[in-house]
Amino acid sequence: MAGVTVDIGTSKIVVRLTRSGTPPPIAERVLPNPQSFAGSDIISRARYAVASSSQAKKLRAVTVEAIDSAIHDMLHYQTLGREELGEVVVVGNTVMHHLFHGLELDSLLSHPYTPSSRRVIETFAPTAGLPSAGSVPCYSPAVIAAFVGSDASANLASSEVWEYTEPVLILDIGVNTEILLWDGEKLWVASVASGPAFEGMSFACGVEAGNGAIDTVSIDKEADEINYNVIGGGKASGICGSGVVSLLSEMLETNLLLKTGSINRELDSTRIKSSGSVRYFEMAEKNQDSSECDIYLTQPEIRDLQLAKSAIAAGIYAVMRECETSVSSVAEVHVTGSFGSSLDFEAAKNIGMLPAFENSYHVAKADGPSMGAAKILCEPRIKERCHQLTLDAHYVDLEHNRFFNRAFPVTRLFQPWSSLMVNMNER
């Protein structure tokens, strides 16, 4: 028996065909989310949907049509019939989840951002708008709270955190970053708006993590040279989120970037340039540095990245303080998403995006929600355990959280947490 998993992200949708008992997919389609015309972030799309019922129906229609078409194509190319499918599992952030299931979004546009439903949703594929899957059941795990959606439930299933007696931190970093901390007995969750910066979508030379994207950087300050790795080899077409983290870390180490986030005006480097009043750091020139185009990072783009990394760092800090978990006690750190799959953890620590986890094992996953959805599809025990864990989760509301508000201005500095903690403790 086969099944289908669907992970509806803000920027892309991952549809997989999986055989029961064997979580690795036998087919996959990765689609750009067709809702982008309504905005690049979940709040813009929620506002678009709330403006009129016809607009909400339009967002849902383009989404289910894209997913259904992907299911049809995979079944066709794998020569499988609908009768060979057993179930469809759909996960996504809270807004994507609500749009897919036709739920009201009004309550997500103002504090305390209450989901219309926190229940498991069980229906049938045709009712969900997926006739290509036949008449099989369609299952969505519960939304945990606010903007911690059913994709977070799937991340829990992927990691099986309930098997750990020591703390485990799960980060799904994207336009909306979900923070899940298992303290060994209880689950703590939160989310922060981090924007599309670390998905490579918000700056001129940004690209998604894929072939042609720069994902790691090293700088030889004395020679004024830059070396970088291009995913898939060949010429670079841009830089992805993990590449930007690596670049910022290298710029800090070579004093090209000050901890305040300003490009160092005092250094005599051919890489630091200006266009009008905008300063920028040039990584590569077209046809001269194994690049298809000029690749650079501007001062305003660094400021956007600074805000995003500050929100993530402050969110982690707040959740850890709320559940009284120390950095040194965290056994594992799981970072998922296209950004997380190629993240240089040391670089992320160096810029103060992640704490200096000294004793933890780092796990990078490109597809945590899809992997978790496959486990939910294939293993009833995991489905039930994951559901129970989400019911008992403790939600940390960061909007008026004292720890978050204390940390956010301090974590704007590009420096390791050891220094940031001193500054926060002095406040």
Note the pLDDT tens digit of each residue in 140-178.
999 999 999 999 999 999 999 999 999 999 998 887 899
At residue 367, φ and ψ (nearest 5 deg) are -140, 45
- Which residue, among 137, 140, 76, has the nearest Cα to 102 in the 3D structure? 140
Q: How far apart are CA 274 and CA 278, in angstroms?
A: 6
Q: How many residues does the chain have?
A: 427
The predicted pLDDT at position 114 comes to 93
Q: How far apart are CA 157 and CA 233, in angstroms?
A: 34
According to CATH, where is 3.30.420.480 located in the chain?
2-140
Q: How far apart are CA 75 and CA 384, in angstroms?
A: 28
Q: How far apart are CA 10 and CA 33, in angstroms?
A: 7
Q: Taking every pair of C-alpha atoms in the chain, what is the biggest distance, in angstroms?
A: 68
Task: Give the residue ranges of the chain where pLDDT is below 70.
Answer: 21-23, 200-201, 223, 287-290, 338, 341, 419-427
Q: How far apart are CA 265 and CA 301, in angstroms?
A: 17
User: If DSSP codes are grouped into helix, strand and coil, which group holds residue 115?
Assistant: coil
The predicted pLDDT at position 363 comes to 80
The two three-digit tokens of residue 282, written as one number: 């040039």
pTM: 0.89
For 2-140, give the CATH class.
alpha beta
Q: How far apart are CA 19 and CA 3, in angstroms?
A: 6
The predicted pLDDT at position 284 comes to 83
415 exposed, middle or buried (CB, 10 Å; 0-12, 13-18, 19+)?
Answer: middle
The predicted pLDDT at position 297 comes to 94
